[in-house]
């Protein structure tokens, strides 16, 4: 008889916590959310490290710093998301998954890292670090939802959000 795969330490820790809280039927989503948060924090650390390092260069545009940081962290995020967080669909090639990921990340970048950041920093005169924190929070929520929808086969979730093509 084949031994059942127990998962990694995060899976076991989340399963234990769900058992304590009587949330056994939600283990899979909590495991995925925990991994997404870990990848998200790592991605954010990479993004911020690059951004804040470039902010130290005199006369270097914060928008260019965010652009460079976004590009580098996107590559890491795609790799980590498809290897560890999401059970990617078999209906799409890796190339198509990356293109969808990049398009959604591009939209997220334009909406949050550029648009919202510019509004907060340049228009409302918020501190650049506070502006970066706020834009990162908005971006994380958007990214979890869109990755869940487009990297995995989620017909039930897509139908709830009226994104199903089987109408």
Alpha carbon 36 to chain centroid, angstroms: 7
pLDDT of residue 4: 41
To the question of pTM greater than 0.95 for the whole model, the response is no
The C-alpha atoms of residue 150 and residue 74 are separated, in whole angstroms, by 16
pLDDT digits (tens, 9 = 90+) for 113-145: 889 999 999 999 999 999 989 998 898 889 888
CA 13 to each of CA 8, 10, 32, 80, 87: distance values in angstroms, whole numbers, following the listed order: 9, 5, 12, 20, 19
Structure tokens at 60: 């270097």
Q: What is the mean pLDDT of residues 57-63?
A: 90
Burial level of 90, CB count in 10 A (0-12/13-18/19+)? Answer: exposed
pLDDT digits (tens, 9 = 90+) for 68-116: 998 898 889 999 998 888 888 778 888 888 888 889 988 988 898 889 9
């Amino acid at each position: 008889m084949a031994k059942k795969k127990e998962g990694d330490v995060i899976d076991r820790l989340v399963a234990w916590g769900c058992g304590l809280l009587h949330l056994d039927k939600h283990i899979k989503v909590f495991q995925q959310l925990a991994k997404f948060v870990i990848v998200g924090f790592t991605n954010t650390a990479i993004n911020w490290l690059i951004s804040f390092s470039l902010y130290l260069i005199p006369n270097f545009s914060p928008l260019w710093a965010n652009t460079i940081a976004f590009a580098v962290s996107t590559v890491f995020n795609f790799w980590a998301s498809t290897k560890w967080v999401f059970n990617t669909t078999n209906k799409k090639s890796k190339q198509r998954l990356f293109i969808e990921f990049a398009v959604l990340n591009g939209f997220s970048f334009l909406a949050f890292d550029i648009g919202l950041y510019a509004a907060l920093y340049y228009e409302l005169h918020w501190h650049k670090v506070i502006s970066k924190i706020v834009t990162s929070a908005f971006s994380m929520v958007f990214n979890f939802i869109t990755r869940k929808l487009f990297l995995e086969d989620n017909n039930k979730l897509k139908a709830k959000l009226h994104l199903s093509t089987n109408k």
